[in-house]
Amino acid sequence: MKRLVVLGAGTAGTMVVNKLRPRLDRNEWEIVIVDQEPTHFYQPGFLFLPFGEYEPQDVKKPKKRFIPAGVEFIEQTIDSVDADANTVLLGDGTQLTYDELVIATGTHPRPEETPGMDGPEFGRSIHTFYTFEGALALREALKGFEGGKLVVHMVDMPFKCPVAPLEFTFLADAYFTELGMRDQVEITYVTPMSGAFTKPVASAHLGNMFDERKIHLESDFYIERIDTDKNALVSYDEREVPYDLVVTVPLNMGADFVAKSGLGDELNHIPVDKGTFIHKDHDNLFVLGDAANIPTSKAGSVAHFAVDIFVPNFLRHIEGLPMLERFDGHSNCFIESGHGKGLLIDFNYDTEPLPGKYPLPGIGPFTLLGETEMNHWGKLLFRWMYWNLLLPGKELPLPALMSMAGKIPEDE
């Protein structure tokens, strides 16, 4: 009997076991999935919790519900991987040997990495919506906010769902406008990048969204610490951004066992081949989803497309055949822009987000790089698709590789 071990029962890991179990002979392959958390969170929903648009029960379900029959779910922490010995050591001392290993343990916010962030003010004047608890604490803070300086901040690249702070900013603008108190709230967007938009075509199309909404931009801001006496973010070049309420994206890092196992980069993300997700030194080790260090967005859509490419490759790989498919870095994200509208972007390693239409049989087309109500409804519809189609590994009418159909190239 051979054994496939999957570490992490999040978006990528859950999809992988659902897609592989029917395709692997049960007399030949055992599948084990390990995760320390019993609850599966619909993370895109965290964005809507602070504004009261989603309720807590909309974004959480038991992980076990999505693990198919014939797959063993072990609820346990992961201590380390010995990739030379093909073993995983679990937190309770259990040793799991494997023939093939998939690491899909994601990336997580680390407020303790920024001095001043993870102290008594965390959850009071310093917030994040990147965790379930954080999003709910922020909901209370927004309800009680009487006006002043609202700062939306991100510590460093890369972080998961890289458009989420933009969306939060637009939704906050709409939220306070609808409460009739927008003129009492000064919104500042603080980024380590050179602007809110860094790709030329997106910048040209979306650059005025900040001016239209009177959102201030503080760019190239590389944070050193938060001064909680002065209520200010302080950068390495000694700039200060004062706040009454700061909504930050803490540094994102992969799991600690990755570092302990000597597999990760400086942020515990694991370098793999960007077309096949195979580790360069271990030909039975694959990394999927946010845990991988590949040059595209850390996002559920990327994990979904990556799994679609991975599955046929993996089935050939275990037969000793070459992997034929290559992932192109395809990413597809709705961007909420407030007042019931949204944008859609679709891109890959080589093609930046372009304007045009995104065809979707039966539902679409959606508008790319432009604000429409249809895009907002697409985003809301997606929660149902996530729970009912995506996680169980059913086919979605979305091509895994990016298509140029409907897109308008830059030079036309």
Partner 1 sequence: MPVTTIGGKEVHVDDEGFMTNYDEWDEELAKQLAKNIGIDELTEEHWRVIKFLREDFSETGETPTLRRVSTVGGFPTKELFKLFPKKPAKKMAYIAGLPKPHGCV
Q: Which parts of this chain interact with partner 1 (CB under 8 A)?
A: 156-157, 162-163, 166, 192-194, 197-200, 202, 206, 220, 222, 224, 236-237, 265-267, 271, 295-297, 331, 333, 335, 345, 347, 353
Pairing assessment for the beta strands 341-347 and 331-338 based on DSSP bridges: antiparallel
Q: Are 358 and 402 in contact (CB under 8 A)?
A: no
| 222 vs 384 by CB, closer to partner 1 | 222
Minimum CB–partner distance for residue 26 and partner 1 (Å) = 40
Give whichever of 98 and 327 is closer to partner 1, judged by the CB atom: 327
DSSP per-residue letters across 145-162: --SEEEEEEE-SS--SST
> What is the closest distance, in whole angstroms, from the C-beta atom of residue 333 to partner 1 in the complex?
8
Nearer to partner 1, 93 or 295 (CB): 295
Smallest distance, partner 1 to C-beta of residue 314, A: 24
Task: Return the number of the residue (193 or 311) whose C-beta is nearest partner 1.
Answer: 193
Quote the CA–CA distance of 66 and 80 in Å, as a whole number.
Answer: 25
Q: Measured from the CB atom, is 74 or 335 closer to partner 1?
A: 335
Strands 185-190 and 240-242: unpaired
Place of tokens 């600690």: 256
- Least Å distance, CB 401 to partner 1, is 17
Identity of the residue, 103 or 202, whose beta carbon is nearer to partner 1 in the bound complex: 202
Nearest to 315 by CA among 324, 306, 303: 324
Smallest gap from Cβ 324 to partner 1, in A, equals 22
- And the tokens for 193? 């990048």
Q: Which is nearer to partner 1, 68 or 158 (CB)?
A: 158
Q: Least CB distance from residue 348 to partner 1, whole Å?
A: 11
Task: Describe the strand order of the beta sheet including 126-127 as a list of residue ranges.
Answer: 126-127, 245-249, 148-154, 185-190, 216-218
CA atoms of 227 and 220, how far apart (whole Å): 19
Contacts of 41 (CB under 8 A, 6+ apart): 59, 60, 132
CB of 31 to partner 1, least distance (A): 32
| Sign of the dihedral through C-alpha 156, 58, 118, 269 | negative
